[in-house]
A = this chain, B = another copy of it.
Amino acid sequence: MSTTRIYTLTISCPDRAGIIAAVSGFIARHGGFIVEASYHTEQEAQRFFMRQEIRADSLPFDLPEFKTQFISLAKEFGMDWQISDSAQKKRLAILVSKQDHCINDLLHRWRSGELNVEIPCVISNHNDLCSFVEWHNIPFHHIDMSNKKVAFENIEQVFNSYHADVMVLARFMQIVPPDFCRRYPGQIINIHHSFLPSFVGAKPYHQAYLRGVKLIGATCHYVTDELDAGPIIEQDTVRIDHGDTVDDLVRYGRDIEKTVLSRGLRCHVEDRVMVCGNKTIVFR
C-alpha cells in the first residue's frame, strides 16, 4: 500500500564476479535509490538472479530511457532482464467454477487495496458467481464448456480482449489443454488442492483421506503442459486427524487454498518470482 512509485528490475544471467557491482554501479551513477535488493545463485545452473526495487523519482529518466541506457550492460553479462513500473498495475483475469472461497478472498484483497492489481474480467463455466462478481463492477463472462476446444478459444479471446497479463485459475476445475499452456508460459497461475507432488489430479482430499496422512496442503504453481507439474510458487499444510472426514478435509483445505493462492499471487504481481528450469526463486 506504499504510495512511492517503484521500478522493479529483475535480471538473470550466467554467474560470475562483478554483477552486483556493475548493476548497482549503473544505478548509483544515475542517482538511483535502491529500496530493496535481493540476490541468488542457482548452483546447478551456475546462474545468477537478482531483483532490485528503485525509487522512480530518484532516476533522471523514464522506463524507455532506462532500457536504452541499460542495454549495453545487459549484453555484456548476457542478461535476461525486465523492468516494471508500480504505476502500471498487472491485469488479472480470474477463472472460476462454482466454488467461491478463492475468488471471495481475492476480490476482498483487491477492493481493500491490499492486492495492487486490476481485475478486468472474471471468466466461468457456471453462472453461480455472476451476481457476486458484478456487485464489484467487474465484467463476468460465462463460457460454455460443452466443446472444450471452442471453450478455450473463447477464453483466449476474452483474455486478449481485456489486455490481461495473467490468468488465475481460482479453483477453475478444468484441465487446460497443453498447447494453450505453452502459449502462456509463466502467465497461468493455478491453486492445486494438495501438497504437490502428493495427490496429483482429481479428488486430492479424497486421496489424502484414503492414505491416512496427518497433514493436508495446497500448492500455488505456474501451469505447464504437464498436469500439476509446473514450477511451484508457494505451498502450505495444515494438521488434520483421524476424526476428520473428507468433508472436514475439504473445509480445512479451503482456508489453505485461499491463503496459498493469495500469497503466491502477491509474489508474482510484485515481480518476486523468477523461474529457473522447473523451480522458482521467490525473493521476499
Residues on B with C-beta less than 8 A from A21 are: 21, 24-25, 27-29
Residues on B with C-beta less than 8 A from A237 are: 195, 215, 217, 237
**Known contacts A41-B35, A198-B197, A245-B43: A17-B28 contact under CB 8 Å:** yes
Which residues of A from 206 to 257 have beta carbons under 8 Å from B? 211-215, 217, 231-237, 241-243, 245, 247, 251, 254-255
8 cross-chain CB contacts under 8 A: A17-B31, A21-B27, A35-B41, A37-B39, A195-B195, A196-B211, A197-B198, A212-B231
**Known contacts A25-B25, A108-B100: A279-B1 contact under CB 8 Å:** no
**Known contacts A211-B232, A282-B242: A17-B58 contact under CB 8 Å:** yes
Contact A251 B114 (CB under 8 A): yes
Contact B37 A20 (CB under 8 A): yes
A124 CB-CB contact with B under 8 Å: no
Contact A17 B1 (CB under 8 A): no
A32 CB-CB contact with B under 8 Å: yes
With a 10 A CB-CB cut-off, give which of A21, A22, A35 has the most chain B CB atoms.
Answer: A21
